[in-house]
Structure 1
Amino acid sequence: MQAVEMEKKAGNENPMREVVLDKVVINIGVGESGERHKKAYSLLEELVEQKPAITYAKMTIKNFGIRKGEAIGIKVTLRGEKALKFLKDALTVKENRLSRKSIGEGYFAFGIAEHIDLPGVDYDPDVGIFGMDVCVSLKRRGYRVARRRRKKAKIATSHRVTKEDTIRWLESLGVIVE
């Protein structure tokens, strides 16, 4: 314990304890296939400059007019610099404020009601307006140990990202947590 305290005083922070951005997942739940779904697909592709994945209905729901296997949504996963850039833009829509309720242990999520609120996006009457969900996952270095194929190992509870770590990471971006 004394060695850790001495390292902190000397300014030698352990790089394995640093919280880093793992991924940002953007989801647009259209709820129907057809023309509106195609417009949402092209919008998301243009927005993040990456090919989105199509999500399909798992079951038939007659009241909503959805059939099993029908394309009802679009999602895309961003990593690295692209993810951080989009996250900063998306947080400006929320005026850099998030509720504590939307923050968990190593993740947080929020919604954007209209995509035209994003900086640099103009309204196009041909496309319309779409809302989107933004889910962000954080991790510490070394999480690959639990996900690799060979010699998997568990991540110690002391190495997991806590809710307080997530809040500190958000505050380092300039986000106010209420």
Structure 2
Amino acid sequence: MKSNVPKFLKAYREVVVPYLIEKNGYKNIHEVPKIVKITLNCCMGSSGDIKVALEEAAKEMALITGQKPVKTRAKKSISNFKLRKGQEIGCKVTLRGERMYEFLERFVWAALPRVRDFRGLPTRSFDAQGNYTIGVKDHTIFPEVDIENLKRNIGFDITIVTTAKTKKEAIDLLSSMGFPFIGEKSKPLVLSA
């Protein structure tokens, strides 16, 4: 019988949690940092044909994440960008649970190796609370995207929200899950299939 539990979630429970308890000396299993959610955010506000661009971006994000995006609106009017308050300018997707771990699998094992001239992820993109934000300039790094029917290139931000209290805890968590950070010497505990 085949298990439907994502490999990243299984590896987090069986390998990463014991490793982090031993490395950082946590006394309780609930102290170990974990990933809470992943948010993908795309803004098409500067496009000339914003309605068409927004529909294409929403379709591509749904294809990449497996979840329908929510459209976001402008909070205030900016005349230089021809934006009006309340106008739809982007879309976002929030992933949790198993779907989040499946997206992480595809992002770390399939998408990141397809980035041109990839040398690793920067560690300066962490905030003080242990959350990590990555900018993706080209969405064609994801294998789900059909490059031949592509009309425009879409860039978006990926924010990984963790329960880590410090930047070091967050780096330990994500690097042990296979994120290739620049300058991190530790071997990832979650290996590709």
Pairwise TM-score range, normalised by the shorter structure:
0.7 to 0.9
- Identify unmatched segments of 5+ residues in structure 1: 1-6, 140-159
Measured after TM superposition, the shift of residue 96 of structure 1 is 8.0
1:17-67 deviation digits (Å, cap 9, x = unpaired): 121110000011111531111111111122212121111011111111111
Moved runs in structure 1, 4+ residues, more than 6 A? Answer: none
| Richer in strand (by share) | 1
- 1:1-150 matches, within 5 Å, as 14-31=28-45, 32=47, 33-91=50-108, 92-93=111-112, 97-104=120-127, 105-139=129-163
1:58-107 deviation digits (Å, cap 9, x = unpaired): 11111111111110000010011211222233344265822121012320
Measured after TM superposition, the shift of residue 13 of structure 1 is 5.7
Q: Secondary structure at the match of 2:124?
A: helix
The sequence identity of aligned pairs, in percent, is 30
Alignment coverage as a number of residue pairs:
150
Whether contact under 8 Å (2:26, 2:32) holds in the other structure is: no
Query: What's the counterpart of residue 177 of structure 1?
Result: 181
- Identify unmatched segments of 5+ residues in structure 2: 1-20, 183-193
Taking only aligned residues, the RMSD between alpha carbons, in angstroms, comes to 2.4
Higher CA-based Rg: 1
Whether contact under 8 Å (1:96, 1:175) holds in the other structure is: no
Whether contact under 8 Å (1:55, 1:75) holds in the other structure is: yes
